[in-house]
């Protein structure tokens, strides 16, 4: 992953790692339920890197925002960003991160999902436009970052805050502990 937020979060918990982006590109027309979509692409990304790094533990992740059954990825431009934020205004949506752990030499092939519910306040056009113009959220699923100015628009979350930032640290630690022990 090239996500600067994931890099910061993994560094925060003391991991030493090398960032190697995969060549996998998401196809939003694929017919998968949101949970399966996030896990599918997390695993595809991790396997892509794992094939070239047999002796390494590879972590792949894919975060999506889900409103109803609609998957919101990263907006391509300001218009898509505006449309996403308008659709999320005053609603509760789910942030899902699929995480895949792959290590060929250790025969590790483990993928899981973490879900967090996020409730937004009603957003005004002024707030949406301000956010897009000043924070350019084009590299963020759902077109927002809970860790930046947009935090003032979040009324409530149920679940892991770090999952919304981009990587579910607590669930990841639990899964690693289950695989390797403490």
Q: Residue 64 carries which DSSP code?
A: E
Each residue's pLDDT tens digit, 112-124: 999 999 999 999 9
pLDDT in tens, 46-104: 999 999 998 999 999 999 999 999 999 899 999 999 999 999 999 999 999 999 999 99
In angstroms, the CA 118 to CA 95 distance is 7
- The Cα 17–Cα 135 span in angstroms is 28
Residue bearing tokens 């149920």: 158
Asked if 40 contacts 32 with a C-beta cutoff of 8 angstroms, the reply is yes
Assigned token pair, 54: 């047999």
pTM: 0.93
pLDDT at 71: 95
- Is the pLDDT at 4 greater than 90? The verdict is no
Q: What is the mean pLDDT of the chain?
A: 94
Residues forming the active site:
62
Phi, psi of 43 (to 5 degrees): -70, -40
pLDDT bracket for residue 42 (50, 70, 90):
very high
Give the number of other CB atoms < 10 A from CB of residue 165.
23
């Amino acid at each position: 992953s090239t996500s600067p937020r994931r890099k910061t979060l993994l560094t925060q918990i003391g991991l030493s790692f090398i960032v190697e982006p995969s060549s996998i590109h998401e196809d939003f027309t694929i017919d998968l339920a949101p949970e399966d979509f996030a896990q599918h692409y997390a695993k595809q990304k991790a396997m892509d890197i794992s094939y070239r790094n047999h002796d390494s533990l590879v972590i792949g992740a894919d975060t999506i925002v889900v409103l109803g059954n609609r998957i919101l990825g990263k907006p391509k431009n300001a218009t898509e960003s505006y449309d996403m934020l308008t659709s999320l205004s005053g609603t509760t949506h789910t942030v899902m991160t699929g995480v895949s752990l792959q290590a060929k030499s250790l025969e590790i092939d483990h993928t899981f999902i973490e879900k967090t519910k996020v409730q937004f306040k009603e957003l005004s056009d002024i707030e949406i436009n301000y956010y897009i113009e000043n924070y350019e959220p084009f590299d963020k699923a759902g077109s927002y970052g809970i860790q930046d100015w947009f935090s003032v628009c979040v009324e409530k979350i149920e679940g892991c805050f770090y999952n919304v930032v981009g990587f579910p640290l607590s669930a990841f630690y639990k899964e690693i502990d289950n695989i390797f022990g403490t």
